[in-house]
Amino acid sequence: MPALAQRLGRHYTLLALAFPMILANISQPLLGLVDTAVLGHLGAPEYLAGTAVGAFLISQLYWLCGFFRQSMTGLSAQSKGASQQSKQFTGYWDDLTRALLFAISVGLLLVALQSPILHVLQGFTDLPPLAATSLATYFDIRIMNAPVALLNLVTIGYLVGQHRTKAVLLLQVGINCLNILLNLIFVYGFALGVAGVAYATVIAEWIMLLWSLYWILKHTQQLTTKHWVTAPKNKLSWCIYVLRTTELLSPTALKMGAFKRILSLNRDLFFRSLLLQFCLAFLTYQGARFGVEAAAVNAILMQFFILIALGLDGIAYAIEAMIGESHGETNDPTTISVALWRDIKISLLWSSIVGVITMIKMAIGYGFFVSMLTNQESVLSAAQPYYWVMVVLPFLAHWCYCLDGVYIGFTRGDVMRNSMFISAVVGFFGTYLVFGYLFAFTNMTLWMALLGLQTTRGLTLGWHLYRMPKASD
């Protein structure tokens, strides 16, 4: 019975972590919809066109920097597991401090490269003067706040790793609502136009950073005062106590050698993200070459892909936190303990359930979802052959999302990087070339390649996990 109760407890832990993250992820597209609606009513389509291009570039830059969130989640969860095992908190903020400093450095680099990046972007676009001005205005304001945006990735990753997903849900939903309110005030109240939309996001990012740092301090105080007999309970006194004793930072926290682990982990995760983004960009731009109708269909299908990814990411975040904690508790990081293997199997089970539920929803509602996004008969007709692609995609993709979560918990960015390289070369471009030469190079071939990419990612990560030594062997 104790073993059964323990297993059920781990099921509950995963679901308690996953549910807030799924809700937080689903809330994200709402902000983009409001931005579009606000800009779409400014009187000239150039405002919307230019800002949309600028927002796309900013989102892609920050998406490529998503390794800050991923690496911090794994490191934070491992630190949590290790401290629970040892009841020691010296060095508890080491990884967080190094990640914050690294994020500031990369953010300042993006600020320094502001003009070259904008120049390259404008070279790829052929926008009319008003749209080009809107693009430059929006981009310049947003990129100047890059250090804060990247710091938010770190703090969110830290909170997820500490199992504070309810706090993350409150943060993201609250900040999105604030952003929407500021949009309306700045654009309609102060007539700031495109700049108002950008300033609203900048202010929201600052408040999010301050709020997340407050949550980190609050959580750490609650955690440490259980074990530090001499630590005061008052928040201000506790902060002064920590600064005076530096118990949360080890003596080697800021030495150059200590940065090696986090730099190599972030490097591997960055190259993984770059490869994935290259495949998705190839699908988008190559699809546009097949005509306006194919481009319209791809725009709709990519919205489905993003929504599927957001749902699967929610369960993946929970897996990262739970696996990282279990991995941090073990004394042998090269071997999968019995408890860790139990958590991996629980993760695979619930990821499969989410994948199947999403697949059923897509099978039942595909036609309705498409009709919600367009009323053009030609596009509706052209989207029908992709029904089966969208139906099987959630089930084929959930494996790689789940196993990504496992390996982020392991902080094995090298395995994820190698898996993505094989999947991009063999799974994506290999599938595209084989199906293209056997049948024809069409838009459907691109989506077959995407299925190949997701399937190969799951297979390569699964094979590596299968070969890892286990304590029960």
* pLDDT tens string 248-304: 777 777 787 778 889 999 999 999 999 999 999 899 888 888 887 888 888 888 888
pLDDT higher at 333 or 408:
408
pLDDT digits (tens, 9 = 90+) for 299-321: 888 888 988 988 899 899 999 99
Predicted local distance difference test score (pLDDT) of residue 17:
92
Confidence label for 361 from pLDDT (cuts 50, 70 and 90): very high
**What does the pLDDT look like over 419-447, one tens digit per residue?**
999 999 999 999 999 999 998 899 999 99
Which pLDDT value is given to residue 352?
A: 95
pLDDT for residue 229 is more than 90 = no
Q: Which two tokens stand for residue 365?
A: 């509602």
The pTM of this model reads 0.91
- pLDDT over threshold 80, residue 393: yes
